[in-house]
Chains A and B, each alone.
Chain A
Amino acid sequence: EPEVTQTPSHQVTQMGQEVILRCVPISNHLYFYWYRQILGQKVEFLVSFYNNEISEKSEIFDDQFSVERPDGSNFTLKIRSTKLEDSAMYFCASSDGGRTGFGFFGQGTRLTVV
C-alpha cells in the first residue's frame, strides 16, 4: 500500500537553529500539506501546496516557515529559527485531488526544541 514517509521520526534542536523536516508524498499525488500538533493539543493546519506553490496557509505559518518541493519527490518544511513553542509533532499529508482533503498522512516528525 502506498504511504507517505517522513524523516526524521524525532529531531531535537537548539533554540534558534534551523530545521528541515522531510516528507516523501505518494508519487502520483498533487496536493501536499503540513500540519502540526503540540503535545496535548489539537491538530492545526499549517499549509497546503499545489503546482509548486503555496495554495493556502494558516496564521501559524509565518515568515519563519517555508515549504519546498526541491526535486519532484520530496516535500520539505523549513523552520528558520526555531523557538521553544515550535516543539510539536509535524505531520505531512498528500492527496490526489483537493476535494479529498486529507488523503494520506505520514507518521509524523516529533520536533523538540531545547
Chain B
Amino acid sequence: KNEVEQSPQNLTAQEGEFITINCSYSVGISALHWLQQHPGGGIVSLFMLSSGKKKHGRLIATINIQEKHSSLHITASHPRDSAVYICAVRLINTGNQFYFGTGTSLTVIP
C-alpha cells in the first residue's frame, strides 16, 4: 500500500516545455515536501507546503488539502532540470515521520 502516489513515473520533455508532476496522498498530513534527486544521488529540498502555492524561480508547487493532491510545475524546462522529483508527506500528529513517493524521473531534451 502506497500512502503517496506520484504520476507520471517517467517523463520526457523538450526544452522549454511546461511540466507538471502530480502527487496524491491518502493519509492526514501536516506538510508536504517536494524534493529533487540528482543523477548522482544527492537530494535537495525544493518546497515545503501546508497550503496554497509557492514559487521559486521557474518552479511552482501547489497543494489542495481537501483533495489530498499536490502538483509541481516547471516552466520553461531546461536540460539541467533533469532529475528525479520526489513528493514526501509529514504525517499529522507526528513530529518527523515521513512517507515518500517513488519519484518521477524527468528528462528534458535539448
A101 touches B31 (CB 8 A): yes
A108 touches B95 (CB 8 A): no
Also in contact, A107 and B41, with CB within 8 A (given A42-B103, A43-B88): yes
List A residues at the B interface (Cβ < 8 Å): 31, 33, 37, 41-45, 48, 50, 55-56, 58, 89, 91, 93, 98-108, 110
13 A-B pairs within 8 Å (CB atoms) are namely A31-B96, A33-B96, A42-B101, A42-B102, A42-B103, A45-B99, A93-B43, A99-B31, A100-B48, A101-B96, A104-B45, A105-B45, A108-B42
Within 8 A of A (CB), among B86-110: 86, 88, 90, 94-103
- Encoded as 1 (CB less than 8 Å from any A CB) or 0, chain B from 41 to 77 comes to 1111100100000000000000000000000000000
Interface SS, B side: strand
A56 touches B94 (CB 8 A): yes
> Measured between alpha carbons, how far is A95 from B86 in the docked complex, in Å?
18
A-B contact count (CB 8 A): 65
Flag if B41 contacts A101 (CB, 8 Å): no
* Distance in Å: Cβ of A57 to nearest Cβ of chain B: 9
Interface size of B in residues (CB-CB distance below 8 Å): 24
CB-CB under 8 A for A89 and B41, given A100-B48, A101-B48, A102-B35:
yes
Secondary structure at chain A's binding surface: helix, strand, loop or mixed? Answer: strand
Known: A101-B31, A101-B48. A42 touches B100 (CB 8 A): yes
Closest partner residue, chain A, to B99 (CB atom):
A45
B86–chain A nearest beta-carbon distance, Å: 6
Could you tell me the distance between the alpha carbons of A37 and B102 in the complex, rounded to whole angstroms?
10
Residue B39 interfacial (CB < 8 Å): no
CA A55 – CA B98 in complex, angstroms? 13
B45 contacts A43, C-beta separation under 8 Å: no
The distance in angstroms between the C-alpha atoms of A56 and B100, with both chains bound, is: 16
Are B42 and A105 in contact, with the CB atoms below 8 A? yes
A108 touches B90 (CB 8 A): no
